[in-house]
Structure formats: structure tokens, C-alpha cells
């Protein structure tokens, strides 16, 4: 296991084991030191050297010409949609994907862009034939199909690279651009043992979150071609995202990219141990997952009592009935996983 010096939420018998999301991580001493020492400038003038370095390194990591530091994954996805599409256009998107379900309808509200949701399978995937069938004909009655939005991972499940490439090809054959919500793309890359750039190669643009499993306190990066990033820079301004001495935040992202990518495998291993430890419990279904998320299903009438029981025993869980979501991250150690297993088993015993 890594020598990460974080808050080690699971290590103390009295500490809370927070498994609600990998967004709850707190920067450790080394990351805070990097932030404190960051060289800064006015990013609106393009003068923050730490922001520029983060953007350059993120672009290289993802195999794209350029990148843009944004405040959140939601802002990055919305800036991408606004850059690819105009008013009256539509984007095709999986019906479970964050950019459709959980971003306040920003593309429609602020961009006049219509979503066209496509039914995903049990792993969150789509079929190229769905994309082909959903593209609208050139008819004044319909919005203009302009963009396909994909996601990887989807609820912790890695999307097969071959399928993603085929989906992108199906879209591009019909004149669409392709955007990837890659909030947890590095989880997929680590799990597959592939470079992130290989997974990003079929995409025209990619958003990558720094504040989930990578453990930075704030921020995402949006990557793509230079012309696309120039448009996205304008959209970031329109969305209120212009910042000044943002290098303090960018330094956390740089530290995360240098020190926290490889250790994502530890989160995956702990999620696997958590799932294994919960197998065979009567009244509980453990759903398969590939990376750092474990989903449980319980009877609807037991859902809230179950979450309350976990909280009473120092374990926080997320999700939406009937599914409970447990997410491992760098602030949960092996002891925290064992505490979580004991708490779950205690409820059903």
C-alpha cells in the first residue's frame, strides 16, 4: 500500500469511515505544502505558471493538444457542450450519465441544447447501432444532432475500449463530435493497465476530475484540440469560471497527477475486499463493480434503517433506494474497510 499521508479516516476506532463518495477526501500535508509553495499569477491574463503547467501536463496525459483548468466536472462538461453545440442542436447521451441526470439541465437551460437520452445496459454501455438510429435526419422538424456524450467509468464500471472506439466511430461517421465525461477515467486506465491517452484517443474532448479519486480539493481539466479549447475558454468565462491566482488550486492537481494515479489500484483492491466481505448475507445483494465502488441492494423498507445503523456505527454510505453506494478512496484504509464490513454484518445479524 502507498505511503500517502492523508487523514486516514478509517484508521481510528473513533473516526468516521466516510464511504459516501471519493469527493470527500481531504488534502494531506504534502499536497497542502505544494499548494502553499505554488508560484502564482493572474490566470485571466494567462500569467499563472502553475495553471499553465497543469494544463500542459493534463493535455499530455490525455494525448490532446491543449487543456483548460475548470472549477468542476460539471463546469467542464457544460463548457464542452456549449463549445460543441449551438442553440437548437442536440446531444446524444446515455440515460444514466452524469451530464444528463445530474448537472441541473445546464445544457438546455443555458445553451438551448436538447438532450437525447439513450438506454444504457446493465454496465452503463451503449451500442453503436443506438447511436446510428438516434441521429436525426436533415429535417426542420428536428433538432440538429451534433454531439455524442459518453462516460467512463459509469458507476464504477469500466467501459471496454473497443466499444468506446466503435461508439465514437459511429458518431463521427454521421458528422457528430464526441465528448467523454472522464471524471474517473484514470480509474479505468489503472484497472485496464492502459495509458489514459489510449482511452481518450477516440474522443474529441475529455473532462477529467482532479477532486475525486485523485484527492485534490477542487478542480477538473477539460482537454481537446487547440481550437476547441479556445472556444471552451470563452465558455468558461461565460459560466463565471475566470480565476485569478488559481495556481494554489492547480498545484494540488499537479501533485495528484504525480502521486495519486498509481495508488488508485489500492482503492480498487479495498473495494474488492469490501464486496467479498459482504457476500452471502441474507437480505443483501452485492452488485458487481470494477473499480472503487460497491453497490448494495436492500429491501425498500430497510433502506433508511440500514443507513442509520451504519451511521450509528461510524460508517457513512450514499446512494438512492434501493441501492446503497460505498466508495473507497485515499482517506479509507484497510481498518476502515473491516469496520464497514462489521457494521453491515451487524445490521443483518
Please provide the DSSP assignment of 247-262 as one string: HHHHHHHHHHHHHSST
Q: What would the CATH number be for the domain defined by 29-259?
A: 3.40.640.10
Q: Within its chain, how far is the Cα of 101 from the centroid?
A: 14
Two domains, one topology: 29-259 and 263-348: no
pLDDT of residue 14: 61
Residue 159 backbone class (left: φ over 0; alpha: ψ -120 to 50; beta: rest): beta
Give yes or no for a contact between 329 and 267, defined as CB atoms under 8 angstroms apart. yes
pTM above threshold 0.85: yes
- DSSP-derived secondary structure for 257-313: HHHSSTTHHHHHHHHHHHHHHTTT-TT-EEEP-SSSEEEEE--HHHHHHHHHHHHHT
Give yes or no for a contact between 239 and 19, defined as CB atoms under 8 angstroms apart. no
What is the number of alpha carbons within 13 Å of residue 284 lying toward its C-beta? 21
Q: pLDDT per position in the chain (349 positions), as tens?
A: 343 334 444 444 568 999 999 999 999 999 999 999 999 999 999 999 999 999 999 999 999 999 999 999 999 999 999 999 999 999 999 999 999 999 999 999 999 999 999 999 999 999 999 999 999 999 999 999 999 999 999 999 999 999 999 999 999 999 999 999 999 999 999 999 999 999 999 999 999 999 999 999 999 999 999 999 999 999 999 999 999 999 999 999 999 999 999 999 999 999 999 999 999 999 999 998 899 999 999 999 999 999 999 999 999 999 999 999 999 999 999 999 999 999 999 999 8
- Separation CA 150–CA 181 (nearest Å): 6
pLDDT of residue 179: 98
Taking domain 263-348, whether its CATH number is 3.90.1150.10 is answered by: yes
Delimit the domains of the chain by residue range. Answer: 29-259, 263-348
Grid cell, residue 289, equals: 463493480
Grid cell, residue 72, equals: 468542476
- Separation CA 324–CA 224 (nearest Å): 35
Grid cell, residue 69, equals: 483548468
Longest pairwise C-alpha distance within the chain: 64
Backbone angles phi, psi at 203, to 5 degrees: -100, 145
Grid cell, residue 265, equals: 489500484
Count Cβ atoms below 10 Å from residue 341 Cβ, excluding itself. 18
**Which residue matches cell numbers 465528448?**
179
Amino acid at each position: 500500500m502507498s505511503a500517502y499521508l492523508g487523514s486516514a479516516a478509517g484508521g481510528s476506532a473513533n473516526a468516521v469511515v466516510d464511504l459516501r463518495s471519493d469527493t470527500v477526501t481531504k488534502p494531506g500535508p504534502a499536497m497542502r505544502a505544494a499548494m502553499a509553495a505554488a508560484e502564482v499569477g493572474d490566470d485571466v491574463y494567462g500569467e499563472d505558471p502553475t495553471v499553465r503547467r497543469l494544463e500542459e501536463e493534463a493535455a499530455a496525459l490525455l494525448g490532446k493538444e491543449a487543456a483548460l483548468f475548470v472549477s468542476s466536472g460539471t463546469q467542464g462538461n457544460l463548457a464542452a457542450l456549449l463549445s460543441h453545440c449551438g442553440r437548437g442542436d442536440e446531444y446524444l447521451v446515455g440515460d444514466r450519465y452524469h451530464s444528463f441526470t445530474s448537472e441541473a439541465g445546464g445544457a438546455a437551460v443555458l445553451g438551448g441544447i436538447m438532450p437525447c437520452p439513450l438506454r444504457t445496459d446493465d454496465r452503463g454501455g451503449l451500442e453503436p447501432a443506438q447511436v446510428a438510429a438516434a441521429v436525426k435526419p436533415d429535417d426542420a422538424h428536428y433538432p440538429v444532432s451534433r454531439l455524442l456524450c459518453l462516460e467512463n467509468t459509469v458507476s464504477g464500471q469500466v467501459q471496454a475500449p473497443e466499444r468506446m472506439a466503435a461508439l465514437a466511430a459511429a458518431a463521427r461517421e454521421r458528422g457528430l463530435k464526441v465528448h467523454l465525461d472522464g471524471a474517473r477515467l484514470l480509474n479505468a486506465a489503472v484497472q485496464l493497465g492502459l495509458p489514459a491517452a489510449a482511452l481518450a484517443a477516440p474522443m474529441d474532448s475529455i473532462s477529467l476530475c482532479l477532486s475525486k479519486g485523485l484527492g485534490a480539493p477542487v478542480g477538473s481539466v477539460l482537454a481537446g484540440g487547440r481550437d476547441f479549447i479556445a472556444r471552451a475558454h470563452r465558455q468558461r468565462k461565460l459560466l463565471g469560471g475566470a480565476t485569478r491566482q488559481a495556481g494554489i488550486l492547480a498545484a494540488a492537481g499537479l501533485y495528484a497527477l504525480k502521486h495519486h494515479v498509481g495508488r488508485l489500484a489500492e482503492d480498487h483492491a479495498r473495494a474488492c475486499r469490501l464486496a467479498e466481505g459482504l457476500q452471502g448475507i441474507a437480505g443483501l445483494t452485492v452488485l458487481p463493480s470494477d473499480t472503487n465502488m460497491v453497490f448494495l441492494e436492500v429491501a425498500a423498507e430497510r433502506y433508511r434503517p440500514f443507513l442509520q445503523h451504519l451511521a450509528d456505527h461510524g460508517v457513512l454510505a450514499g446512494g438512492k433506494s434501493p441501492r446503497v453506494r460505498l466508495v473507497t478512496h485515499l482517506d479509507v484504509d484497510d481498518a476502515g474497510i473491516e469496520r464497514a464490513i462489521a457494521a453491515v454484518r451487524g445490521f443483518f445479524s
